Amino acid sequence: MDDIAATPNEACNNLEVTFIVQDNNPEMQAVEDDIRANLAQIGIKVKTMFLNDTEYRDAEVNGDYHLLFTRTWGAPYDPHSYMASWAVPSHVEYTAIGNMTPPLTRENLIERIESVQTELDEAKIAQGWRSIMQDVHAESLFLPLWGTRIPYVINRRLYGFTPSSQAYSIPIHTIQVASGSKSVTISPGDGALFSSTGPINPHQYAPNALWAQDWIYEGLVSYGQDGEIVPSLATSWTVEPHGEGQRATFQLREGVTFHDGTTFNCSAAVLNLDHVLSDTVKQRHQWFGAGKYLKSWICDGEYKLVLETSSPFYPLLQELTYIRPLRFASPSAFSEGLFSDPDEHNSCESGDFGSKWDFLEEEVNCMGLSAPIGTGPFKYVGTTTADDGSDDEVVFNGYQDYWGGKPGIETVTVVKYDSVEEVEAALLSGDLDMAMGIGPLKATQVQDLKFHHSDMFDVRHSDVIQHSLLVFNGNKAPTDDINVRQAIIHAIDKATFLEQEFAGLEKPVTQLLPYSAPYSNIDLNPKWGYDLAKAMLLNCPAEVSARASGDMEDVGLSPGAVTGIILACVAGACLLGLVTKMILAEKAGKPIFAPANNELS
């Protein structure tokens, strides 16, 4: 069948789509050419644009693409926060869902996503998510590609590492040193090769590196194994109905200090909440349900924090485990200390809102933070900056007064490399101790280190906590046409290229979210799998439509096949797959409706 479709002819709709790819993302680069080759088989030309991080974000925001890669956010963000983020204009999914099949619209889908999160009845929550996910699935706006398992390559002179259950977290504070220096080097990744940590502001997004924010800052609670909510800067809590919403009371951990020696207490927590959830700034956090529903945060003594919501919100505790934006910086890092006004001296970094949020800086003065100072296991030391503005090296020290016990690593240096080959060479030479996360190495390199250098490296993988996706721009022709999207989906042979490009490490998936995500272990139909016959029929329809004009001989069909197709249509059973398979079988010399003696004239 592949041979038949390998050279598209005049029967195909000769479409062109723009595919944007991050130039420093080895995952994207590994499969881009496979996808391009798959689509060429059905007459779709792919114009690939390799973009740097800034160009890529601009193209996302402005909708200057037809196809791009992304990943679901993973635990603990899926499904509630990930899908709530679709309401944010700067997020790629906002564009994707902009032109759906009536009566489904972006507005009513977002309304349903918000509504289900204010429900407290488990059965109604489950039914609400099932309905939402089925409708999204049917629109063919996302092609789930593979389940992402986060790789970690660690020199065996180190031990004690446990992969996190939380996406974007690289928890090196548990690592101990068996031999050699307690100063270690790392190449981290959250989707691409490391280039910068950003300012490491806990209240903002890109270019702030999540794993660096996670090393420095902490929140009230943490996300534990199997989704358990565990204590962090709060030792205990209660959540109860209150008025039309809920009241959550947190007993804060005593004896905790920030890296500068400042005491952590309720006043410090409220200061941070004031700056993230001010009436102006919280517009930037539209994806964040807690930000939308939290209406008050007050102290009841030095070590008791009381939060109240305007409505029930079932994921409240889950959202308080997130790496950003509700983690706590030292009051001394704010421009006016504890007296920093959220509008006049906000902790936001100027220019970090993103192009679609620039208007916020007309209403608030973004003063930023003087330094990244938190309560976490590592404290920031300094950055060596390259001529191009990227970070050559970033140094952190283990915080000796960390309330959870001082880390086994004394100093960790984050090192920038220009290619995955350089990362691998540095590992093998011993110059680099760890390559952790997605980006520093290709899957084939990880597998090679695991099986051929196991004496030198401990290679681990997380469970599947995210799905990698191909996203369609539903607002831009030709991918605004659901038939084009489905043709592309059926033309992509992901099982084959995953085996080739990922050494069998990653496996194909068929649904938007991992089954392990809350309310996501459901069976969605139809199945959007590889089926070149369907893809050809959807984008190369002339061969089939020729039957209506009496041109069947032009497409190489026998009279028996013509009769069969006509009878099938008359009977109301002219199914796309059946018709296409009949056509392809005929052209392959294996007619379905052949004479009994198998002699064809």
CATH classification at residue 287: 3.40.190.10
Dist CA 105 CA 99 (whole Å): 7
Among candidate residues 580, 575, 485, 484, the one with its CA nearest the CA of residue 532:
580
- The pLDDT of residue 543 is 54
The pTM assigned to this predicted structure is 0.84
User: From CA 128, how far away is CA 83, in angstroms rounded?
Assistant: 13
The verdict on 316 and 438 lying in the same domain is no
C-alpha 435/C-alpha 185 separation (Å) is: 9
Weakest mean pLDDT among 279-288, 309-318, 350-359, 552-561: 552-561
| Domain total of the chain | 4
Beta bridge mates, 245: 242
User: Two tokens at 54?
Assistant: 């800034």
| Domain assignment of residue 339, yes or no | no
pLDDT cut 70: percent of the chain above it: 87
> Contact 203/324 with Cβ under 8 angstroms?
yes
- Which pLDDT score, from 0 to 100, does residue 547 have? 40
Do the beta carbons of residue 381 and residue 395 sit within 8 Å? yes
* Residues 166 and 247 reside in one and the same domain: no
Range in 104-113, 228-237, 305-314, 587-596 the model is least confident about: 587-596
> Is residue 277 situated within a structural domain?
yes
Whether 227 and 320 share a structural domain: yes
pLDDT of residue 359: 77
Q: Which domain does 561 fall in, by range?
A: 541-587
pLDDT value, residue 542: 63
Q: Three-state DSSP class for 560?
A: helix
pLDDT of residue 589: 43
- pLDDT tens per residue, range 326-379: 999 999 999 999 999 999 999 998 876 655 667 787 889 999 999 999 999 999
Q: Which of 268, 297, 329 is the last residue of a domain?
A: 329
Final residue of a structural domain among 460, 476, 501: 460
Tell whether 228 and 306 lie within a shared domain: yes
In a domain, 232, yes or no: yes
Q: Is the peptide bond before 171 cis (omega within 30 degrees of 0)?
A: no
Mean pLDDT across 583-597:
43
134 and 16 within one domain = yes
For residue 139, give both structure tokens: 């629109």
Higher pLDDT, 204 or 360: 204
Average pLDDT of the residues of the chain: 88
575 pLDDT higher than 70: no
